Structure 1
Amino acid sequence: MTPQYASVSVCGVVSTFYDAIPLIFPKDYFTSHAARAFHTQCLQNVIRSDGVIAISESAARDLYLYTGYDLAKTQIVYPLVEDRFRKINPEELNSFSAPSLKDIDLSQRFILSVTGIHRSKNVKTLLEAYMQSLSLIGREIPLVIVLPSEGARLEFIRQFGTPLNVIPIAAVSEEELAYLYNRADFVVQPSLYEGFGYPVAEALSCGAAVITTTSSSLPEIAGDAALLVDPINVEEMAQAIVTLATDRGLRAELKQRAITRARLFHDPTALGTATYEAYKRVARSECRASPDRRPIAAIWSSMPPLDCGVADYSRELVDALAATHDVDVYVDGKYRPDAFIPTCARYRHPRDFDLLPEPTMNIFQMGGRSYQQFMYEPIRRHRGTVVLHDLSMSLGFYFLAKGGDALNEFEDKVVLPEGEHAHKEYGRMLAQFRDPPRDVLDGFFDRHKLLRWLVESTDSLLVHTEPLRSQLKEEYPDANTRTIRMGATDMLPKVRHLPMQSWRQALGIKPNALCIGCFGIVDKWKRLDLVARAFEELCNQYPTSVLLIVGRAYDAEYRQKLEALTKESRFGERIALIDYASPNAFHALMALVDVVVNIRWPSRLGMSAILVRALAAGKPTIISDIPEWREIPEEVCPRVTPGETALKQLSALLIGFASDPATLKAHAMSARKWFLSNGTLDAMRADYLSEAPRKQ
């Protein structure tokens, strides 16, 4: 099951759960972070399902034990065993041709095990038990081990060598495997864990006597048709092998029981009926009205892993609203979104909107990146609330239209609604410049925000700063504009357990050194070159200081400028440019630094998610003195005034923090206090519930 299928749906979801082996043997399965993340995504989808089909009672129990999934929503449905696994009559058996088995003398007695080399298969215990039994059963009964592939056979030899009387084989067809089940004296399945145990079910279907273990689903599948042993007790397994090898009557009895037991796994009607009932039960619950059904919030946005601030913001907003709402998250379907969303949230495709119950809140998260372009038509079709993250988003849409050869459509849908004056100026610009230079475009889009189409298509526009709301109201007096707080996840619980001092030491940061962090997109607007020069001034007095610049640079020229500045600096080895940090690494790096510098100009009148996250982490944060951030007290965030004195001011602030730990601590406490009062997800949710128009 791939993550996107179970989490993007317009109906109830039923997942099939096979086993919990990766959770029980994590070191063997999760050999990389990617493997762990992918399995976690798949498991999250199962947990979010409206119903689950489990292939055994054992699998259902494990799903509950490891995830807490409601057993009442789980249906046990045994899978079918192929009909080729059957009791073969003696004449057919004697005439069977098995080319891949030609090098093995199968006319004699042998013990069979169909297994693998994974630790859960417990091959080592089987080999030890077989070796113990040899002194009593003799060498005339070899152990034939069927492995799933030639690679597995070679790995078996690498791990275990070529044990006496043991014959590892591979690349066996199902017909040949059925032949082996029928020919074998008995079958040993020594697994530590199976979700179902196909080799046991196949062996029983062929009328074989079976030894298996008391672990997981194996007693459930074998019933009274097998000898059960402790999977980690070598002596007990060896004794069972000796017993079956020497007791012809017991073998015959088990073979007779096997045929009866195997009927459970050859009933397609029972399988179909049980599967249908599982789906019908979910479909019925979907249609049944629920008096205590929670209100629905529809969120249209880009989502992680897309690398943009709107995606990160929306991921946290989903967390916030999930406390009170079921959340439908509409994405454009061109990527696999992050599966780590609350169980009451689902990903939806835009075409699903008309098929679903009407939400009480319909919210669009709009920025100027290509990731948000898919919302243009839905905004016009499904009126709602738009949260405006970027006042200059129309410039971004212009570049997208230009790259997609869609400037005519851009003119019709975005420029023309702005009015005659803007439309004529746009026409003159294109007449003068076939490809307008950036400064000309900046001038035009600074004079004309081209948001009239948005104002006319929405119930209200929400922004995160009062200066931005005031400017919107000035340019579009009829717009219903409101201000809401920007919230962020509380970082401290995430990072308290991390070994910060040892990490700082590993990065070469001395115990009392000041570590400065700059986070987010690397752009000239953020004045990181000025930060680097101020850092050099700091190092003249405190040479052990460290500067971390964490974020991707979409402006290659500016990135090269920073790299050159770093190389030229006498303290360049104290500056680290980190291109990308995963969410967990971001949290760790934010916790690791002592001070955050988050300056930018000219003003764009928007709030900064990095700023809120820094305050959440309790970090003294130096900001620029621009209108949108003046509501934050200076004792929380000291200011740098844009202009000629900015370098001197920033250098002085950094040196002050390095020289006065008490001031550093006081600012850290003020930062944390401000966050708890103004920047939590609870505060953001309260504003959304208060300010976003709701349908009753």
Structure 2
Amino acid sequence: MTLPLEATLPKVQRASGVVVDVRALQAHDHASRGIGRYTFELITAIEQRDPTLVRAFVADPMFPMHEQMLRLLPTGKLRRSDDPEFTAHPPRVFHVTSPFVEGDRPAAILPEWARGTDTFVVATVYDLIPARFPEIYLSDPTIASIYHARHEFLRTCDSLFAISEATKMDFSELLGIPADRVVTIHGAAAPQFSSLPAAEAEQGGPATEEDLRHRVLKRYGGTTDQATGYVLCPTGAEWRKNLDRLLQAWAALSPALRTSYPLVVQCHLQPDAREHLLARSAELGIAAQVVFTGAVSDAELIDLLRGATLVVFPSLYEGLGLPILEAQACGAAVICGDNSSLRELVSDPSARFDAESVPDIASVIERFLLDPRARQELATTAVDKRYQWSEVARLVADTYKKYLDAPFDSEVIAAAQESGVVSRPFRLALASPMPPQLCGPAGYFADLVKYLPDLCELTVFTSADPLEVQLPREVRVERLDALEVIEAIEGPFDEVLYFLGNSEFHIAELLQLQRRPGAVFLHDARLTILYTEMHRRYPNLMDETFGQALHRMYPGRYPAPMGGAQYLPLDEEGVFGVLMVADVARLATRLFVHAEHAADLIELDCGRRAEVLFPIPCPVAEQSEAERHDAPAESHPEKSTGRPLIASFGFVSPAKRSELLVDLMQDLPQADLALVGHSGESFLEDLRTAAQAQGTADQVTVTGKVASSEYQDWLSKTTIAVQLRLFSNGESSASVGETLAAGIPTVVTDIGTFSEYPDDTVVKLPRNVSRLELAKALSDLLADEPRLAALSAAGRAYAARNTYQLAAEKLSSELSQSALNSGT
């Protein structure tokens, strides 16, 4: 399903040129660090290569005007991303320089003007380290949801720039992105990072390496009288930088070696991090031979690199390893961890170590400190030309030009010129319980999701753990509490649809609906249990009690004491007709139900009539009628008696008259009974005990929760399904849809939505049917083969007219048309 994007074509120019996002130079945690440095140098190199290639550099008004961004002012191309110029004249290429950048508030990655079909989107990705180590970086569910939302953006990009081959491989391994969509562009040190020029000595600079080392150690508080050099670690105070293992390795070196070559750790340190590292150094007995510089300027860093006897980079994982390139550019000998992109930068295997092995780190450091010739060979190894900014800029520019030269879709343009609109997919967010959560709507959604992804761009939101969700096809699944954040990042969905029912499994959806209104599909017209459980489980989230909520929704309607116990007894809510649906009806942008009965109840309750799009759908039967009857009896080892099987499917409860069905078997010795579904274990055990007491234990099976395959097995062996109700919540039964689709003659209570089934499709019995009346009806039906066959055929025909595929098509069509009419 697609939606038009309004475009007044005479005023909108054809997309052209390249626009580059510069939020990597705005966010403070990026701007002055590696990503910011990389972005600025790349932009500089592109401008030097072809100053006409990039049309504009756009700054996000939600981010600071950081000093690093302001360095682009001399280009004359710095613009705000909300400049009307870009809406009137969108770019052909939009380059996102840091898709994982974050401001103080979530912000959309793409401006609206960069989402059109004529704009190609490319992005630079520096690493996927959080995805590689989720236990370290993604333990917070909200952070994980935000991060995974960025992954979805990456999957939509036309091309991705990886800064190393290791990162390119991570795209394939971790995100499943094809290699042909990823361009490895590498990176380089800034021009100021170079070995000491001779001219500097003539101008009064340090004349010798020894003088430079002396100056560095003196500046940062190191002991200079016994030191003949120093080992430098340019790093950060972060888990993967592996500082603790480096300190342990340093402690493993001989005291004489540590004294001759003290360790200088260069990184920005917060006070608590500095205190921790100083304490750790003292604990290891190396405090006198370790110096922590804190943050340094580029000039100071260059001095540190030029004067170092050896540079050690013990990181556990990197996207590139810019400090290594900077050290190599300054003529330093560099050793590093044998992992990730570091293998690409330090090609000599002897100069790499197992970064998780303290002895190996110590061994390689010691070997190169004691072998000047090996250090010299390492320091003089030429840096590959791919690690030059001119080469990086060439690769990026070539990708820009590929898209700038790409032909426009002539059919899209012609249609747009004629109708004034272009199209994009309808974006639907769907919030619902999901399998393996034990509630009817979870299974309902699993059947619906077989078809919805073919009709719209679907994102599923759930209170379940997304990693545990079990759906029949691949679809994007996010945590429900990340909905607003994802909309802020990716732009609003065209519609958000909540599936709500009368159980604790829908609490998160109801709370989210209050924060972000959307369309609602009600599985039950009565929501009293939902409100009871919400107030019982999360009283701290409520600003009122259950009783107060009842009387606020319906002032003066019910006796004042009602709800005071923070729940309603079943008989009381039935007698007074309490639904507690008013808040949902008020918040819902559209309100859907499966039956006219439910719509009637809601309209009487709060004055809003819900829409009936379709009756509750029926699944595709897994067996034909012939296969169902021909299946071997052994498929049910519990019930191989040869007697016909009467079964009730779905949640087992007093409201579904489960006790009556067990009692009934005293009057039906010629049949067996199966109650197939979950419930509280004590209630299930009470039913088994009752069967034992009345002498029908050999006829009655109470399964409890069963796997899908076993559920299908019970369907295949059932002769008659009995789906009774003591009262109606305005709900529709998914279980009845399953039994009809399976061709099982089905007996229902003539109440509520069950009354709307065609008379030739189900057998309808009165709500107050007695045990003897029910026994006679079932006995007569078991003896009437022609009627059983007719009911089976009618049930299958009904199911064929009301499939989940047809329901998905109707739902998608209605919601997309609604979004179109509202102008979203």
**Which residue of the partner structure matches residue 397 of structure 1?**
531
**Which residue of the partner structure matches residue 686 of structure 2?**
561
Q: Which amino acid aligns with 1:664?
A: L
1:348-363, aligned counterparts within 5 Å? 348=479, 349-355=482-488, 356-363=490-497
In the TM superposition, residue 483 of structure 1 has moved relative to its aligned partner by: 4.7
**Which residue of the partner structure matches residue 251 of structure 2?**
none
| Cα separation, partners in 2 of 1:648 and 1:293, compared to 1, 3 Å | same
Q: Please, which runs of 5 or more residues in structure 2 have no aligned partner?
A: 1-106, 110-122, 132-149, 187-241, 246-313, 315-339, 341-345, 352-380, 413-421
Distance (whole Å) between structure 2 residues aligned to residue 388 and residue 76 of structure 1: 49
SS in structure 2 of the partner of residue 603 of structure 1: coil
**Which residue of the partner structure matches residue 72 of structure 1?**
180
1:374 aligns with 2:505: no
Q: Which amino acid aligns with 1:387?
A: F
Superposition TM-score, scaled by structure 1 size: 0.56
CA contact (8 A) 2:624 2:742 kept: no
Structure whose alpha-carbon radius of gyration is higher: 2
Which of 654, 667, 691 is residue 791 of structure 2 equivalent to?
A: 667
Distance (whole Å) between structure 2 residues aligned to residue 507 and residue 577 of structure 1: 14
Q: Which amino acid aligns with 2:600?
A: S
SS in structure 1 of the partner of residue 556 of structure 2: helix
**Which residue of the partner structure matches residue 550 of structure 1?**
676
In the TM superposition, residue 385 of structure 1 has moved relative to its aligned partner by: 1.5
1:379-458, aligned counterparts within 5 Å? 379-405=513-539, 408-410=543-545, 414-415=549-550, 417-422=552-557, 425=558, 427-429=560-562, 438=569, 442=573, 446-458=576-588
| Cα separation, partners in 2 of 1:57 and 1:411, compared to 1, 3 Å | closer
Which of 533, 558, 565 is residue 663 of structure 2 equivalent to?
A: 533
In the TM superposition, residue 359 of structure 1 has moved relative to its aligned partner by: 2.4
SS in structure 2 of the partner of residue 363 of structure 1: strand
In the TM superposition, residue 564 of structure 1 has moved relative to its aligned partner by: 1.7
Q: Please, which runs of 5 or more residues in structure 1 have no aligned partner?
A: 1-8, 19-44, 85-173, 175-195, 197-201, 208-262
Distance (whole Å) between structure 1 residues aligned to residue 713 and residue 565 of structure 2: 48
SS in structure 2 of the partner of residue 398 of structure 1: helix
**Which residue of the partner structure matches residue 477 of structure 1?**
607
| Cα separation, partners in 2 of 1:488 and 1:671, compared to 1, 3 Å | closer
Q: Which amino acid aligns with 2:485?
A: D
CA contact (8 A) 2:172 2:178 kept: no
1:466 aligns with 2:592: no
**Which residue of the partner structure matches residue 612 of structure 1?**
737
Superposition TM-score, scaled by structure 2 size: 0.48
Q: Which amino acid aligns with 1:474?
A: L
1:486-525, aligned counterparts within 5 Å? 486-492=616-622, 501-502=631-632, 504-505=634-635, 507-510=637-640, 513-525=643-655
Distance (whole Å) between structure 2 residues aligned to residue 408 and residue 474 of structure 1: 27
Q: Which amino acid aligns with 2:509?
A: M
Distance (whole Å) between structure 2 residues aligned to residue 427 and residue 547 of structure 1: 44
Q: Which amino acid aligns with 1:415?
A: L
In the TM superposition, residue 563 of structure 1 has moved relative to its aligned partner by: 1.4
Q: Deviations over 1:600-655 (max 9, x none)?
A: 12222321011112222222222112131223223321222222445423443255
CA contact (8 A) 1:415 1:450 kept: yes
CA contact (8 A) 2:762 2:791 kept: yes
CA contact (8 A) 1:469 1:483 kept: no
| Cα separation, partners in 2 of 1:434 and 1:654, compared to 1, 3 Å | closer
In the TM superposition, residue 686 of structure 1 has moved relative to its aligned partner by: 1.1
CA contact (8 A) 2:684 2:702 kept: no
SS in structure 1 of the partner of residue 634 of structure 2: helix
SS in structure 2 of the partner of residue 322 of structure 1: helix
Distance (whole Å) between structure 1 residues aligned to residue 694 and residue 387 of structure 2: 77
**Which residue of the partner structure matches residue 690 of structure 1?**
814
| Cα separation, partners in 2 of 1:317 and 1:636, compared to 1, 3 Å | same
Distance (whole Å) between structure 2 residues aligned to residue 322 and residue 381 of structure 1: 26
In the TM superposition, residue 530 of structure 1 has moved relative to its aligned partner by: 2.0
In the TM superposition, residue 427 of structure 1 has moved relative to its aligned partner by: 4.3
| Cα separation, partners in 2 of 1:57 and 1:618, compared to 1, 3 Å | farther
CA contact (8 A) 2:546 2:567 kept: no
CA contact (8 A) 2:433 2:464 kept: no
Q: Deviations over 1:134-159 (max 9, x none)?
A: xxxxxxxxxxxxxxxxxxxxxxxxxx
**Which residue of the partner structure matches residue 317 of structure 1?**
448
**Which residue of the partner structure matches residue 307 of structure 1?**
438
Q: Which amino acid aligns with 1:622?
A: V
Q: Deviations over 1:537-577 (max 9, x none)?
A: 33x33xxx432222111373x43431122212433123222
| Cα separation, partners in 2 of 1:402 and 1:648, compared to 1, 3 Å | same
In the TM superposition, residue 73 of structure 1 has moved relative to its aligned partner by: 4.2
| Cα separation, partners in 2 of 1:415 and 1:292, compared to 1, 3 Å | same
In the TM superposition, residue 421 of structure 1 has moved relative to its aligned partner by: 0.7
1:196-345, aligned counterparts within 5 Å? 205=349, 293-332=424-463, 336-340=467-471, 342-345=473-476
Distance (whole Å) between structure 2 residues aligned to residue 601 and residue 397 of structure 1: 21
Q: Which amino acid aligns with 1:317?
A: L
CA contact (8 A) 1:472 1:481 kept: no
Q: Deviations over 1:198-237 (max 9, x none)?
A: xxxx999479xxxxxxxxxxxxxxxxxxxxxxxxxxxxxx
Deviates more, 1:466-475 or 1:629-638: 629-638
Count of aligned residue pairs for this structure pair: 489
SS in structure 2 of the partner of residue 409 of structure 1: coil
In the TM superposition, residue 327 of structure 1 has moved relative to its aligned partner by: 1.1
SS in structure 1 of the partner of residue 631 of structure 2: helix
SS in structure 2 of the partner of residue 653 of structure 1: helix
CA contact (8 A) 1:398 1:410 kept: no
| Cα separation, partners in 2 of 1:386 and 1:63, compared to 1, 3 Å | same
| Cα separation, partners in 2 of 1:683 and 1:403, compared to 1, 3 Å | closer
Distance (whole Å) between structure 2 residues aligned to residue 354 and residue 417 of structure 1: 32
Q: Which amino acid aligns with 2:672?
A: V
SS in structure 1 of the partner of residue 460 of structure 2: strand
In the TM superposition, residue 687 of structure 1 has moved relative to its aligned partner by: 4.5
CA contact (8 A) 2:674 2:702 kept: yes
Distance (whole Å) between structure 2 residues aligned to residue 436 and residue 59 of structure 1: 56
Deviates more, 1:395-404 or 1:577-586: 395-404
Distance (whole Å) between structure 1 residues aligned to residue 746 and residue 721 of structure 2: 5
1:591 aligns with 2:716: yes
**Cα RMSD between the aligned structures?**
5.7
SS in structure 2 of the partner of residue 639 of structure 1: strand
| Cα separation, partners in 2 of 1:626 and 1:440, compared to 1, 3 Å | closer
1:127-142, aligned counterparts within 5 Å? none
In the TM superposition, residue 296 of structure 1 has moved relative to its aligned partner by: 0.8
In the TM superposition, residue 671 of structure 1 has moved relative to its aligned partner by: 1.2
